[in-house]
Each structure stands twice: as structure tokens, then as C-alpha cells.
Amino acid sequence: MSAEDLGRRFLGEVEEAGLDEILKSVKSLAEPEISSRFGIPPLDSLLGVFEQHAASLAAQRKPPTSPSVERKSKQTQKDSLNTRTPVIELTSLGPGAGKTHLLYLITALAILPEAHGGIEIQGRSSAVIFIDADGRFSVERLVQVMKSHMGQRIQQHNRKTTSNEAGPEVHEVAIDETEQTSIISHALDHVHILQPQPYAALISTLTQLPTYLFDASAHKSFHRPLHSIILDSASAFFHPLKAAEEHASIPQAQYNGPAIASTTIASNTTSEAYAALVRELRSLQRQLHCAVITTTSSLSVSKLDGGNSPFPTLRPLLPPAFTSFATVRLAVTREIVPAFPPAMSVQEALRERAQRQAVVEQGRVRVSVDGWGADGWAREVREGVAGMTDRGAWGMRITKDGVVVGHEERDETEHV
């Protein structure tokens, strides 16, 4: 074989790749294990059921046509499993269910370090974009959740040391308040809080995110991977968009109502506006290879299945263009304390008051797979969810100190 033929052969084996593919490859090397993307075991396990199926479908779309393409196809399937980027929608029938508190926990685990001073903090040392559309983000509450998590990791480390579970080389340690404050302060540098309003500002903000993130002089997270883009709440734009849509359909000569603020969007309908939002978020996922987490409000409990669904089924407020975007849709509900029965006497009510208040203060919340759209799930997904403990649902407690999740909800001493 001549040098020219050899060179032509090698040139034919060269594969072109875009910047987004290069970033995915780099991130897969930095994060070879994705079985604990969020560090919340029940959430990670549930995502695994949905993502394994999605990755399998993606790998089947392009059948191999040659040995080299077959090798590439197998690598593509492997990469799709190792670099998956889920979309999670947290929904409830109204505010106060606990969605934002779960976001604080996800954010805390994303930005905290993996370890410090021999203690496994189990953070991800990453950055988070938090789009606070409701204007309710509380840095103070995020710090409480971070302190709670770090305190629990220290306690767990020292319990293992005392029981000698971790081996003789592991010693009891402590992180004083000054050092803990320093760790948290450094981690907070990597939460980028944005508050765009109205909808047009949201789209503009998302469009400019890559420029901002790739500018090393603009922030301190340039050398960190982006863990998630969080939108709390996607429903915040619905009613202004709907009002503008209805206003535009009325001839101005016939309209006598109050002035409607312009949304300054190219879309003609609310559905088109949310479809455009999904396109922007998908584009960012391809470029930045990060998870997307949104919160939404739902209208009501759906009775389409006759009420026999094993999952809570909440009718979405937002159009299908948005609700079909999520990898998994999770319903978040607070434990409801039943009202006093009409026949109960005042004395009986007073005796039960303390018990009822104790239940309220426990802040018990349930996170379940939402059944809206479950009729479109693949058989593998249905079987996978059905085979999980409590069909993938888990408990969560929201306390003044932190958030208690999953199996640890049964142990008063353990905080995620």
C-alpha cells in the first residue's frame, strides 16, 4: 500500500465533531458514573428507568451499515447512557407543596464539593443556573439546606468511625462553623440566579446563556461543569401570555377593558410560545449538556382513567408542547391533615390539636410519578416503574433545618 493510499484510508477514518459533541466527550471523561446524577437515590433510580429506554431508542434510530459505523453506534449508545441529560418536571395543584424546597436540595448537592477534610460531602462541585420566575428564591433557605446536609454528612462519617465500619485509617473529624461558612460561601458563587420577566426576557436570557457561561471574566464557574438549568416556575408566564393572546384576538375598536402589557413575542399563541421555550431549552441541553428541571402548576386531578390509575394524575395547566418535554413528570403533594369531624366535641378537638399540629410541623411531602401521559409509556418503562418500591414514589420531610428524603425519612437522624 502506497503512502498516498494509506493517508487516504486514515483520512476516511477521521470523524468530524461539533463543539457540543466535544463538550459531551469531555464531561463523560470527568463524570464516568451517572447512576447518582442528583445524589438523591430514589430520584436517580427513577430516572434510570426512563433514561435507559430513551437511550435505547436513540441508538436504534441509525442502524449500522459497516463495521466502523457499528463500532460508532455501540459507542453512541454507551455515550448516551453515560452522558444523558434528563428533563424533570415537578408539578402540584398549587403553591406550597414543596417543589421549591426540593429544588434547594438539588441545588445544594450540585454546588457543594465532593469531599472536604476526609469527609464525603457527596456534592457534585458543579454550577447551577436558577431562573427564579416567581421572584421567591431564598438564599437564606438554600444555606439552611446546605448546612443541614453538611452537618449530617459529618455525623454519618463520625458514626462510621465510632463503629469502625470505615476501617482503622478513618478518624473522627469536625468542621468548625467558620470553615463550614467558607465552604458554603464558595459554593454559592456557583449558583447563578436570574429573574427574567416577562416571557420575552426569559427567551432573551436563555439565548444569551452560552455567551455568558463561556466568558471566563463574567463569573467564577468557568472551570465547573453546568449541572442543571432550573426554571421555577414555568407556569409564571402562562396567564400573561394567555391574556395577551386573547387581547390580540379582539379588535381594538371593540375592546374596553384594562390595558394589557405587551409580551413582545413573535409567537401568535400561548402554545407556540411554550414550544419556543422548549426549543431554547433543548438547544441549551445540546450545547451545555446539563439537566433541565422545571416546576409547574396543574389544574386538577384527572379522572380520564376512571380514577383507577396507580399514579396521581394531574391535568396540566401548560400546553402539550411543554408537558411532553419532560423525561419524567413528578407530582409533589403535601400530607393533608383531615378536618375535625362535625360530631367532634370541643374537648376532643383540643386533645387532638397538639397531635395534628405535630403532623403539620413534620412537613411530610410525597413525590410520585405523575400518570399524565402514562398511556404513551413503553412497556419497558411501565414494567420498570411497576417493579420499583412504591412504584417509584418516595417521602420527603421539609423542616426548618433541612430536607429529609427517601429511606432516610424514616430515620430522624439522617438528612440528605
- Rounded alpha-carbon distances, angstroms, from residue 108 to 111, 149, 219, 358, 371: 6, 8, 19, 27, 28
Give the separation between CA 102 and CA 39, rounded to whole angstroms: 12
Closest CA to 367 of 335, 411, 415: 335
- Asked if the structure places residue 379 within a domain, the reply is yes
Higher pLDDT, 206 or 176: 206
pLDDT (tens digit per residue) in 70-83 = 444 444 444 444 44
Please tell me the least confidently modeled range out of 33-42, 160-169, 226-235: 160-169
Q: What is the mean pLDDT of residues 88-115?
A: 95
The answer, yes or no, to whether residue 266 has pLDDT greater than 50, is: yes
- Asked if the structure places residue 26 within a domain, the reply is no
- Asked if the structure places residue 3 within a domain, the reply is no
Taking each helix axis from N to C end, the angle separating 238-248 and 270-288, rounded to the nearest 10 degrees, works out to 140
115-116 and 191-194 beta bridge pairing: unpaired
The number of beta carbons lying within 10 Å of the beta carbon of residue 70 is: 12
Give the separation between CA 102 and CA 104, rounded to whole angstroms: 5
Q: What pLDDT sits at residue 406?
A: 67
Percent of the chain scoring above 90 in pLDDT? 50
The residues pairing with 293 across neighbouring beta strands, listed in sequence order, are 88, 230
Higher pLDDT, 388 or 247: 388
- Asked if the structure places residue 384 within a domain, the reply is yes
Q: What pLDDT sits at residue 106?
A: 98
| CATH number assigned to the domain comprising residue 291 | 3.40.50.300
pLDDT (tens digit per residue) in 273-297 = 999 999 999 999 999 999 999 999 9
Q: Which residue has the cell 387581547?
A: 247
- Asked if the structure places residue 1 within a domain, the reply is no
pLDDT (tens digit per residue) in 314-345 = 999 999 999 999 999 999 998 765 566 676 77
What lies within 8 Å, CB to CB, of 412 at 6+ separation is none
Is residue 273 within 8 Å of residue 329, measured between CB atoms? no
pLDDT (tens digit per residue) in 205-262 = 999 999 999 999 999 999 999 999 999 999 999 999 999 888 787 775 455 555 555 5
Overall number of domains in the chain: 1
Q: Which residue has the cell 426576557?
A: 201
- Asked if the structure places residue 8 within a domain, the reply is no
Is residue 293 within 8 Å of residue 99, measured between CB atoms? no
The answer, yes or no, to whether residue 108 has pLDDT greater than 60, is: yes
Kindly indicate the confidence band of residue 87, based on its pLDDT and cuts at 50, 70 and 90. Answer: very high
Range of the domain at 375: 38-410
Kindly indicate the confidence band of residue 161, based on its pLDDT and cuts at 50, 70 and 90. Answer: confident
Higher pLDDT, 394 or 14: 394
Cell of 213: 457561561
Give the separation between CA 203 and CA 105, rounded to whole angstroms: 26
pLDDT (tens digit per residue) in 183-197 = 999 999 999 999 999
pLDDT (tens digit per residue) in 358-380 = 555 556 899 999 989 888 888 88
The residues pairing with 230 across neighbouring beta strands, listed in sequence order, are 130, 293
The DSSP line for 284-305 is HHHHH--EEEEEEEEEEE--TT
Give the separation between CA 359 and CA 356, rounded to whole angstroms: 5
The answer, yes or no, to whether residue 263 has pLDDT greater than 60, is: no
Q: What pLDDT sits at residue 162?
A: 72
- Asked if the structure places residue 9 within a domain, the reply is no
- Asked if the structure places residue 28 within a domain, the reply is no
Cα torsion at 413, 128, 236, 377 (round to 10°)? -80
